[in-house]
Amino acid sequence: MSARSRIGAFGSDANSVRKVLQRTMLRPRTYPGFAREILMTSLNVALYPAGLISDALKVEDAVRLGDRYTSQVPLRYLDPVAASTPIILLHGYFHNRSAFVIMRRSLKKFGFRSVDTMNYNVIGHDIKELAHQLAVHVDEILQRTEATHVHLIGHSLGGLVARYYIQKLGGHEKVHTCITLGTPHRGTHAAWVGRGKTARQLRPGSLLLRQLARSSRAMPVRFISFYSNLDSLVLPASNAKITEPALRARNVLVKDVGHLSLLISRPIIRAIAEALANPDIPREVDLRPSRNGRNGARAQSGA
């Protein structure tokens, strides 16, 4: 893409982003969403050092949650295969396994016995190299658990690491479900302020993103992508959708939930648990909170 084309595309996307933000600022639920995002940012900063310690720290026990995230409605019957299929959580840019403190604990409370987190460093490594690290990690988990497949859940950059592994490194033979949260599948203009290999790969139209689009094909992996209208790091927000038809992805719009807040949203965590408990989840995904729920996020399925 020429420099003039990039500038034109950026200008068009910038206008679209501005219009979306103007509409968003008129919605009453936007402001509580911003407040939650600020609190979530503070929590992530506080927990970051713990995520650098060995996984023996048991990060899922680092926060006392009670049954907040799991007690609203019981899951469907969790059969032994669903319960024993390993889940691997992949964090985002400049983050670590501490991002999944709440989600990991919640999934274990739902009955999933093997919920693993993988730490990696984006400094000096690009998405391809991180995907090769993931390939080694998946093989170790499969050998340790004697399972035949794993589920991958990637937040932000982690979703692209998962996709590269699945589409380019043979991961489609070992992954049952790939769920992404706020992942810039078509790039984000926020990456223009970043430096290094990974930041360049996250920009719209990058070579890596084009390779992923070209290598999309029919495969047995189930793809589900959650994206938010309040995501300040995926610009425009619609770039967090998986749009390649061959992947047959389910794109779920989550309203008024920020980029980091995607990691703690009760409706999202519950929807993830339902999806992993039931491989034949219906096309329509209902993330509306129950009558007693206090989370104001709503979501709808989108193509």
| pLDDT tens digits, one per residue of 114-167 | 999 999 988 889 999 999 999 999 999 999 999 999 999 999 999 999 999 999
Rounded Cα distance, 7 and 47, in Å:
39
| Structural tokens at position 227 | 């994206």
Rounded Cα distance, 31 and 45, in Å:
22
Q: Which pLDDT score is estimated for 278? A: 82
Rounded Cα distance, 100 and 59, in Å:
8
Q: Which pLDDT score is estimated for 25? A: 54
Q: Contact 17/236 with Cβ under 8 angstroms?
A: yes
In this prediction, residues 72-89 reach a mean pLDDT of: 77
Long-range pairs of 33-38 with CB within 8 A, sequence gap ≥ 24: 33/230, 33/256, 33/257, 33/258, 33/261, 33/296, 33/297, 34/230, 34/258, 36/257, 36/258, 36/261, 37/230, 37/232, 37/258, 37/259, 37/260, 37/261
Q: What is the DSSP letter of 253?
A: E
Residue 234, classed as helix, strand or coil, is coil
| Structural tokens at position 66 | 């009670």
Average pLDDT, the chain: 78
Name residues whose C-beta falls within 8 Å of residue 74's C-beta, 6 or more positions apart in sequence. none
Q: Which pLDDT score is estimated for 262? A: 94
Q: Which pLDDT score is estimated for 96? A: 86
Ramachandran quadrant class, 111 (left: phi over 0; alpha: psi -120 to 50; beta: rest): left
Element (H, E) at 158: helix 157-168
Q: Which pLDDT score is estimated for 123? A: 83
Greater confidence, 232 or 295? Answer: 232
Rounded Cα distance, 180 and 163, in Å:
9
Q: What is the pLDDT of residues 27-68, one digit of tens each?
A: 555 545 545 555 555 555 555 455 455 443 343 333 333 444
Q: What is the pTM of this model?
A: 0.75
CA 281, 106, 183 angle in degrees (round to 5)? Answer: 65
Greater confidence, 202 or 55? Answer: 202
151 forms beta bridges with 87, 177
Residue 196 has pLDDT above 50, yes or no: yes
CATH number listed for the domain at residues 3-302: 3.40.50.1820
Residue 90, classed as helix, strand or coil, is strand
Rounded Cα distance, 173 and 166, in Å:
8
Q: Which pLDDT score is estimated for 14? A: 54
Instruction: For residue 221, give Cα distances in angstroms to 34, 89, 147, 170.
Output: 34, 16, 16, 11
Among 134, 127, 138, which Cα is nearest to 183's? 127
Q: How many Å separate Cα 170 from the centre of its chain?
A: 21
Q: What is the pLDDT of residues 242-255, one digit of tens each?
A: 999 999 999 999 98
